[in-house]
Amino acid sequence: MRIVVNQIPQEGLNLFEDIQAEELDLGTDMLSFEKPIKVSASVSRITNTLSAQLDISGYMICTCSRCLIEFERPFYKHIRLTYQLETLTQVIDLNDDIRQEIILDCPQNPICNEFCKGLCFKCGKNLNDGPCECSYNKRA
Ligand SMILES: [Zn+2]
Ligand SMILES: [Zn+2]
């Protein structure tokens, strides 16, 4: 999302944009996005200070750290950013800050749900699908 400084009217400006994750350079081994990220901004300028209130929302695809399935996790952030404008500043690019906020929102060890039983350490079976042979044997 880019803001052209001399296009901000006195009363401020509202912007909406669907941003593709690739544009934000997001996406790692543990994190990906299938749907665009929705950003709405209300921008105002007082002399040399530009401030933007942003609502960022979307869905991140996380890999469960217990059972390794991929699941969709909604996120929502409301942030306020301020930028000092130099005389020659023509465009403010918000994408770096938006990227930072989304990465900060990404959990270190995502889990698909709090009751996730994970994988059996021994045979690797997904225990959410039921007990595995080796725990069955243990019990017998
Ligand atoms: Zn899980
Ligand atoms: Zn097992």
Bin 118: left if φ > 0, else alpha if -120 < ψ < 50, else beta. left
Assess contact for 75 and 98: CB atoms under 8 A.
no
Tell me how far the alpha carbon of residue 107 lies from the centroid of ligand 2, in angstroms.
27
Q: Is residue 123 part of a domain?
A: no
pLDDT at position 31 is 77
pTM above 0.85, yes or no: no
DSSP conformational letter for 127: G
Token pair for 95: 């994408």
Tell me how far the alpha carbon of residue 72 lies from the centroid of ligand 2, in angstroms.
27
Q: Is residue 22 part of a domain?
A: yes
Domain count across the chain: 1
Q: Is residue 139 part of a domain?
A: no
In this structure, the dihedral spanned by the alpha carbons of residues 57, 1, 7 and 41, taken in order and rounded to 10 degrees, is 10
Report the SS3 class of residue 49: strand
Distance CA 27, CA 34 (A): 10
Tell me how far the alpha carbon of residue 123 lies from the centroid of ligand 2, in angstroms.
4
pLDDT at position 140 is 47
Domain that holds residue 33: 2-115
Distance CA 116, CA 17 (A): 35
Q: Which residues of the chain have pLDDT under 70?
A: 27-30, 135-140
Tell me how far the alpha carbon of residue 33 lies from the centroid of ligand 1, in angstroms.
18
